């Protein structure tokens, strides 16, 4: 590396950090990427148990995400698309509800869905058409209200809100009251309408793996805990417990776990998170189709959503992922038995052995006023520091990639161009 090339450190090898590294490399820099974990990916994690790929939490890629389309190779990810609808369970019965314009199998079930009036169903398609013609940038400039208030103002009945919007979007926002900003709702609803919900066949961790695979000049230092920064000196402890320090021209702190919220935070003011419990159980039998999300539309239900995890070879899935909007510590086996009971009673699904359980305390950051992008100077801090992460914008993979790229661009603009000497 030429001594004339400014030295850049990125703290955090999650989605935003990896995307920032890509941008630095494109401009001729040789960033050093730190992370305190043994792996890359941040909150985007997949464990492998035998033939099973277990994502830590139900995370999906919406294929119409603008920044994801710029950063990712979808063909290489080997995506499995979910159908544009859901199977909704209530009181021992199940119902199909979905977009008949994308899949004709939803036409008659949606028309006869008993928990929404004709007006509700017309409102759904009217809203989809409205958002189709609205740009993402425009969505994030509109006045904010809660998603529940937004739906009520749009004229949706309490029945369709309780039996579709609440269970469906509670699983996305990881909060049951639809208190999330209407900007986030419009953005997500538009992304569903413009593309597909998908999962890489080998798990969501294929996304950070692909981003890392696109790097060539970045030095990755895992199991390094950053202990502080004094001037241009970055201090850290490695996996052996040995202390180090090194001088950098710029430091990008990527992700909320890597920064001091009081000193660096822009938009994640209270440091609050939405949490969940994610259980994996054997799927023995039942009515839940593959590539379809299952929802329980009962207010006191334990389970929010479920899906059958895609297999690598395309054979029928025998693994069920279940999400609970419950943030407390629970006994895995006791909770698994309660899940089996509820699946049997409400859904007619028989589930078997517990495969895995994850308590995800920091699943999604609770963000203040949502925005789509920031001014370049808003990514910079004192002491030659820059920040990136979805918490700066809105909680999603798209925002993580967007902020990582934008923070790197802002940092690059503040430095002289990298000079390569022979």
What would the pLDDT profile of 277-293 be if each residue is shown by its tens digit?
999 999 999 999 999 99
Token pair recorded at residue 238: 């490695």
pLDDT of residue 258: 52
What is the residue-wise DSSP string for 277-335?
Answer: EEEEEEEEE-SPPTT-EEEE--TT-S--EEEEPPPSS-PPP-EEEEEE---S---HHHH
Domain with CATH 3.50.50.60 in the chain: 8-44+205-271+368-413
Q: Which of 49, 39, 11 is nearest to 226 (CA)?
A: 11
Instruction: Provide the mean pLDDT of the chain.
Output: 93
Provide the token pair at 8: 């850049």
For residue 288, the model assigns a pLDDT of: 97
pLDDT > 90 in the chain, percent: 87
Span 181-203, average pLDDT: 97
CATH number for the region 8-44+205-271+368-413 comes to 3.50.50.60
Confidence of residue 330 (pLDDT cuts 50, 70, 90): confident
Domain(s) of CATH 3.90.660.20: residues in the chain: 48-201+273-365
CATH of the structural domain 48-201+273-365, one choice from 3.40.50.450, 3.90.660.20, 2.60.40.10, 3.40.50.620: 3.90.660.20
Does 52 have pLDDT greater than 60? yes
* Cβ-count burial 100-116 (b if 16+ within 10 Å, e if not): beeeeebeebbeebebb
Is the predicted pLDDT of residue 68 greater than 70, yes or no? Answer: yes
- pLDDT, position 270: 58
Is 90 exceeded by the pLDDT of residue 189? Answer: yes
How confident is residue 368, by pLDDT bands cut at 50, 70 and 90?
Answer: confident
Check residue 90 and give its pLDDT. Answer: 96
């Amino acid at each position: 590396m030429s001594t004339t090339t400014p030295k850049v450190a990125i703290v955090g090898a999650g989605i935003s950090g990896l995307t920032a590294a890509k941008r630095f490399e494109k401009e001729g820099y040789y960033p050093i990427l730190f992370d305190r974990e043994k792996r890359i990916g941040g909150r985007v994690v997949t464990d492998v148990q035998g033939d099973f790929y277990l994502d830590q939490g139900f995370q999906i890629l919406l294929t119409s995400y603008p920044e994801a389309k710029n950063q990712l190779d979808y063909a290489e990810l080997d995506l499995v698309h979910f159908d544009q609808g859901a199977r909704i369970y209530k009181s021992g019965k199940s119902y199909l509800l979905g977009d008949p314009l994308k899949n004709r199998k939803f036409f008659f079930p949606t028309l006869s869905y008993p928990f929404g009036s004709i007006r509700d169903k017309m409102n759904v398609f009217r809203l989809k058409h409205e958002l189709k013609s609205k740009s993402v940038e425009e969505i994030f400039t509109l006045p904010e209200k809660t998603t529940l208030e937004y739906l009520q103002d749009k004229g949706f009945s309490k029945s369709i809100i309780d039996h579709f919007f609440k269970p469906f979007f509670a699983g996305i926002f990881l909060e049951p009251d639809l208190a999330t900003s209407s900007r986030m709702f419009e953005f997500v609803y538009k992304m569903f309408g413009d593309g597909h919900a998908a999962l890489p066949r080998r798990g969501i961790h294929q996304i950070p793996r692909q981003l890392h695979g696109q790097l060539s000049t970045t030095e990755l230092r895992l199991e390094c805990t950053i202990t502080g920064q004094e001037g241009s000196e970055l201090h850290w402890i490695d996996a052996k417990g040995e202390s180090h320090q090194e001088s950098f021209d710029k430091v990008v702190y990527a992700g909320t776990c890597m920064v001091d919220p009081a000193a660096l935070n822009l938009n994640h003011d209270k440091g609050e998170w939405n949490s969940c419990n994610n259980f994996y159980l054997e799927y023995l039998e039942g009515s839940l189709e593959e590539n379809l999300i299952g929802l329980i539309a009962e207010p006191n239900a334990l389970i929010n959503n479920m899906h059958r995890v895609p297999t690598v070879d395309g054979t029928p899935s025998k693994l069920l992922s279940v999400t609970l909007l419950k943030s407390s510590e629970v006994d895995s086996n006791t909770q698994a038995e309660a899940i089996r009971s509820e699946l049997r009673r409400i859904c007619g699904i028989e589930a078997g052995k517990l495969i895995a359980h994850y308590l995800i305390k920091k699943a999604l950051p609770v963000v203040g006023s949502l925005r789509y992008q920031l001014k370049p100077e808003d990514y910079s801090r004192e002491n030659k520091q820059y920040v990136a992460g979805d918490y700066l914008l809105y909680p999603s993979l798209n925002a993580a990639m967007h902020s990582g790229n934008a923070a790197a661009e802002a940092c690059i603009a503040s430095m002289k161009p990298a000079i390569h000497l022979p």
